[in-house]
Amino acid sequence: MSKQRIVVGLSGGVDSAVTAHSLKKQGHEVVGIFMKNWEDDDRAAGSSEDEPGYCTSNIDFVDAAAVADVIGIEIEHVNFAAEYKDRVFSDFLREYQAGRTPNPDILCNAEIKFKAFLDHSIRLGAEKIATGHYARTRLNQADGNHELLKGLDPSKDQSYFLHRLNQAQLSKTLFPIGELHKKQVRQIAEDIGLPNAKKKDSTGICFIGERPFRDFLNRYIAKAPGPIRDEKGRRLGDHLGLSFYTLGQRQGLGIGGIKDKGAQKGSGDHAPWFVARKEVETNTLWVVQGHDHPWLHSLSLVAQDASWIAGNPPPESLLAAKTRYRQSDAECSVSRASRLQFELNFSRPQWAVTPGQSAVLYAGDVCLGGGIITF
């Protein structure tokens, strides 16, 4: 690759730091940009001005700036908070209020990191952008399409979160660490003396951070209590609002157990409860006992708001899919695929398929795109 002007999204973490270093080492002109996407609540409730909050963007910027100094590149601080709230957070709230469980990281990638950030970088004269995602791209010589591939580290592959990228976005994007394993990335960071070489990986969404998820939603979504019922219709208790629960959830239901048949009296042995259905029409939360209950398993799904990396849906054939991050690829057949929706039929039942989450399709290591699960 000839020398290019490349803008790297520096998050303050080790992955983006090594991304910037590797491109600089290859001889490219590298500029770092730190994106601030949330500013409503940078500190924990009740904390002082000097205490770090749940969203650590201020700390992360200091780390990003320190990395830029060591590598020897310029860094710019850009505020995309307004765009984030309009394009990502508003959709996040709408989905939860409708009783679904969205994945804002996917929308953030499509709308902020690879749209607002990409547009800003092009205005700065960038020929390419780069991020610290564990994914790969390649040009298919046969059809001229840019393809998105899984990262080589299976435990860190992030192609699931990138499945809504299009040809224009992929053509301008580099994922330098997609060819590496995480331990290699940390070793490189340590070898060149990066100050964040041992920094803990970020978890969760910045605007939620480490706080209890229910506490965060309470600030934006009103409680709407209703009944919790089992498969026989028995009322076991009350929920705080369907928005605060997701399918497959086990913790925080506030209901006791019913002993399995054959359990000794007084033994306390019982199968755990899981959220199995959310009935918005009656504001009812349906729960079942046991991980293997039939209500928790699905052989098919329908997805809408489809997004195809090649621009068109794949041919109806046997492929693989993930219905949640870190899930192993599940063999499936695709039917009724269009630009807007598709159906999947699985060879084996899938556990806790959740409306609002994304079903992402793969042909081997190649990510084809996906859609939002409706049922």
Per the annotation, the verdict on 108 as an active-site residue is yes
Q: Residue 63's closest CA among 201, 190, 176, 194?
A: 194
CA–CA gap between residue 368 and residue 342 (Å, rounded): 13
Q: Tell me the Ramachandran region of residue 319: left when phi exceeds 0, alpha when psi lies from -120 to 50, beta otherwise.
A: beta
Among the listed residues 55, 108, 332, 367, the single catalytic one is: 108
CA–CA gap between residue 24 and residue 118 (Å, rounded): 19
Per the annotation, the verdict on 55 as an active-site residue is no
Q: What is the 3-state secondary structure (H, E, C) of 268-325?
A: CCECCEEEEEEECCCCEEEEEECCCCHHHEEEEEEEEEEEECCCCCCCCCEEEEECCC
CA–CA gap between residue 193 and residue 189 (Å, rounded): 6
CA–CA gap between residue 338 and residue 23 (Å, rounded): 38
Task: Answer whether 32's CB lies under 8 Å from 68's CB.
Answer: yes
Task: Answer whether 295's CB lies under 8 Å from 288's CB.
Answer: yes
User: Strands across the sheet with 173-174, in order?
Assistant: 74-79, 29-36, 5-9, 128-130, 173-174
Question: Which H or E element spans position 232?
Answer: none
Catalytic sites, residue numbers: 108, 206
